[in-house]
Amino acid sequence: MKKLTIMLACGLLVSIMGVQLVSAQEVRPTGINPDSPFYGFDLMFERIQLSFANNEQAKLNLQLKFAGERIDEIEQMIRNQNEEGLKRAIQERARIRVEIEKSIGLEENLEMKENIQTQLETQTQRMEKIEDSDSLEIKNTLSLEIKNNNELGKKIEVLN
């Protein structure tokens, strides 16, 4: 009975995550956003996916994907003028980035390491574009969070 209940709950969440109305101006649909009561479940499912990754490369690829999704959510929260959701998405992206940076430090395959660093740089450039084009009301929040996250990334680089 418990298994059936869990399966039904998971099915319900998956169906909810798949349903999202997308306006004409949105480029990327983001699924469940930080302002959703189901956001914690979305993050939990991501962590479950990471725990089932076959190897370190698969795990890193998932982490990069999730970090990109956080950037999509950041863009969405800016469009919605949702400062709390914005903070949450930025914090989650920072958390994922820390995990990626730690994994890069442990990675011995130089080609893979360079590929991941290139993807991180691309994501950082995306964040910089967002920072340059965001609304004035949210600019201070975004700038402060990005600055804090960049400083954290630099500290991690020094440790590696």
pLDDT in tens, 9-33: 555 454 554 444 333 344 456 678 8
CB atoms within 10 A of CB 128: 12
pTM for the structure as a whole: 0.68
Tell me the average pLDDT across 111-135. Answer: 82
Q: What is the mean pLDDT of the chain?
A: 76
What's the pLDDT band for 68 if we cut at 50, 70, 90?
A: very high
- Torsions phi, psi for 142 (to 5 deg): -65, -45
Instruction: Report the distance separating Cα 117 and Cα 153, nearest Å.
Output: 12
CB atoms within 10 A of CB 116: 21
